[in-house]
Chain A
């Protein structure tokens, strides 16, 4: 559950609800960006996602490195991606 998974912000949705559409492992899901409100998140930014919230902005190189090392985790990574896919944050 402590895994942070990188995603690329695709679109900013309702700013009142702090939602952004984020591409996570090829799947687009809503992620809450309230915790990064002061960091001016824009489409194209990479973020570290944890339990449905963007926790930190990261650069693209770090995102790729993190993804590679997460994929090496095997089952734990697959479970996390599956959980993200099943999540329906609104």
Chain B
């Protein structure tokens, strides 16, 4: 067990692996980790190679960079290219390819695109440049949406009228439901996302056991957290229970952060439809600004093309995001598609399954193979 030695508490990790092996001895279990942060931890620490062959991990759609469809990147580039506009974005989005190139490409061609750490940095840029329109490219699940909401409220309070939001915020429950409804994927349970759950809380996930009969365990980001969550899922099977449990009690509560949820609700409303990369259109899965915040809505202030663009044929991000194939099973993985020249979104973000596997997983797999472990 080479990998275990790097853990904070190797003895605890060994004990958890032994417990998992014992609990999973009678069957085969397929669990999805929803969150891209978990995917990163799993590949970074070679967790797949510690697990018995009877436990399989499937990587889910919980990386907000990875699920943005190409058409929305084209829209962002179009707004960024409007003369006079200062377009602001998180760094992760800069290299995501649209059908006509990325934001990084548009910046090289002269558009004023600035990387920001926080929507508040974008608001500050707007206050400092009152004569120019400043747009913030808002992406993220409920982890990030409250921060955007608070920023819009602050823009209203401070009367910053040259500031607007291009909202691409998405919500966590609809894709989980879409995956549960999907016929080509049989899952036995979920490792639930950590940080998004600090906002939305545990009770939102009750539909998973109640309507679909699958256990759901929210987990923290350490390797030990993930191993413990897997043991908790398997324990539910052995005790014939099926419910929502919380491994990450250090950060996640039953109700989440009510103030953050209230601010989101004040500023955003649910879109009837939103396209997800690889998952297609999912009803009521994304957020737009409410009509009373129209002044700060970039989609109303600018001509946004809004054209739907097919994913590149060679790219299999959709199947990776649904957990139908592993990153290395994609035709272009590591050849035409690498973190330096990504074709698909999963290769762009460090939380994307393909980038995580490209950077760490390949190495672990080679080590595991030389140690006599099977390839996973």
Apart from A55-B146, A87-B117: 5 A-B pairs, beta carbons within 8 A: A1-B139, A1-B351, A69-B223, A76-B40, A83-B117
Q: Kindly list chain A residues whose C-beta atoms are within 8 Å of the C-beta of B63.
A: 2
Does A12 reach chain B (CB closer than 8 Å)?
A: no
B44-63 residues with Cβ-Cβ distance < 8 A to A are: 44-45, 63
- Closest Cβ of chain A: how far from B101's Cβ, in Å? 21
- A35 contact set on B, CB distance < 8 A: 146-147, 150, 257, 259-260, 263
> Are A52 and B258 closer than 8 Å at their CB atoms?
no
A48–B223 Cα gap in the complex (Å)?
19
Q: A88 vs B121: C-alpha distance in the bound complex, in angstroms?
A: 6
CB pair B195 A2 closer than 8 Å = yes
A3 to B194, CA, bound (A): 11
B313 → chain A, closest Cβ, in Å? Answer: 28
As a 0/1 sequence over residues 46 to 86 of chain A, the CB contacts with chain B under 8 angstroms (1 = contact) are: 00101111011011001001101100110110010001101
Say yes or no: B147 contacts A1, CB within 8 Å. Answer: no
Q: Known: A1-B92, A68-B8, A69-B222. Is A55-B198 also a contact (CB below 8 A)?
A: yes
Residues of chain B within 8 A (CB-CB) of A32 are 118, 120, 147, 150
The answer to whether A34 and B150 touch across the interface, beta carbons within 8 angstroms, is: yes
Shortest beta-carbon distance from A45 to chain B in Å = 14
Cβ contact within 8 Å between B44 and A72: yes
Q: A residues within 8 A CB of B349? A: 1
With a CB–CB cut-off of 8 A, which chain A residues contact B90? Answer: 1, 51
Point out the residues of chain B lying under 8 angstroms from A48, CB to CB.
195, 198, 251
**Hey, which chain A residues are within 8 Å of B195, CB to CB?**
2, 4, 48, 50, 55
Interface residues of B in 216-275 (CB under 8 A from A): 221-223, 250-251, 257-260, 263
A38 within 8 A of B: yes
Whether A84 contacts B260 by the Cβ 8 Å rule is no
How distant is the Cα of A37 from the Cα of B153 in the complex, in angstroms? 15
Return the contact of B118 from the options A37, A51, A56, A79 (Cβ within 8 A): A51
**B344: CB under 8 A from chain A?**
no
Which residue of chain A lies nearest to B251 when distances are taken between CB atoms in the complex?
Answer: A56
Residues A3 and B37 in contact in the complex (CB < 8 Å), given A51-B147, A55-B195, A76-B350: yes
Contact A1 B64 (CB under 8 A): yes
Known: A50-B195, A52-B147, A87-B118. A2 touches B64 (CB 8 A): yes
Which 5 residue pairs across A and B have the least CB separation, nearest first?
A52-B118, A87-B117, A83-B117, A53-B147, A76-B350
Q: Does A10 contact B (CB under 8 A)?
A: no
B327 within 8 A of A: no
Q: Is the CB of A1 within 8 A of B140?
A: yes
Is B143 among interface residues, defined by CB-CB distance under 8 A? yes
- Asked if A89 and B140 sit within 8 Å, CB to CB, the answer is no
The yes or no answer to B144 lying at the interface (CB within 8 A) is: yes
Question: Which residues of B lie under 8 Å from residue A36 when comparing CB positions?
Answer: 257, 259
Whole-angstrom CA separation of A52 from B116 in the bound complex: 10
Using an 8 Å CB-CB cutoff, how does the interface string of A21-37 with B read, 1 for contact, 0 for none? 00000000000101111
Q: Say yes or no for B70: interface residue by CB 8 A criterion.
A: no
Closest to A83 in B: B117
| A73-B45 Cα distance, complex, nearest whole Å | 10
Assess A53 versus B118: contact at CB under 8 Å? Given A1-B64, A35-B146, A88-B124: yes
Distance, CA A88 to CA B37, complexed state (A): 26
* B residues in contact with A34, CB < 8 Å: 150, 259, 263
- Separation in Å of the B171 CB from the closest CB of chain A? 15
Shortest beta-carbon distance from B12 to chain A in Å: 13
Are A83 and B222 in contact, with the CB atoms below 8 A? Answer: no
Q: Are B144 and A1 in contact (CB under 8 A)?
A: yes
Chain B residues contacting A58 (CB-CB under 8 Å) are 250-251
| Most interface-central of A56, A66, A83, A84 (chain B CB within 10 A) | A56
Pairwise interchain contact A55-B260, C-beta atoms closer than 8 A: yes
Query: Inside 8 A of B140's CB, which chain A residues have their CB?
Result: 1-2, 51
Residue of B45, B64, B119 with most chain A CB atoms under a 10 A cut-off:
B119
